[in-house]
Structure 1
């Protein structure tokens, strides 16, 4: 996965549970965030995951960096979209 990160990007965290994984990355700008998503999750040659995924980009921070959270469902498991985007502590609910 880190091979798909652009030079100025960083892997912040990875957390996996029974149904899905949560990956948080930081990028210099939205172009790098998009580049990472395309290389890691959409490129047939480099695809690192066979299950469904969704990525959510945050607003640029004060220093202009973009934080991206990607949820990867286990192969054959649907993404729990309602839990991921529900108000409250959706990470805790969705990662169960």
Structure 2
């Protein structure tokens, strides 16, 4: 149960990372495709948009770095939960085998 909870948390982090990367790619694409001409350029709007895009890119990169750190911590939690789950599973197998052996001896 704890393993599935930790995996769900990891999935949410992965989805957040995908969303942030998508936003960053979209912004980069818009930035590359922007053309400095026309009335917007004359009015200085193009330069202001480019500055906004640069600032937004910095914010997105900061968020991505934070999510990566969160993911690293969550990966540790998933590994711990997996280890506990695996130990419990092995213990159950061992206990079941021991009980079956004991029952077989009693029936002989």
Q: Which has the larger radius of gyration?
A: 2
Which TM-score applies when normalising by structure 1?
A: 0.25
Structure with a larger share of its residues in strand:
1
Structure with a larger share of its residues in helix:
2
Structure scoring higher RCO (CA < 8 A, sep ≥ 6) equals: 2
Which TM-score applies when normalising by structure 2?
A: 0.23
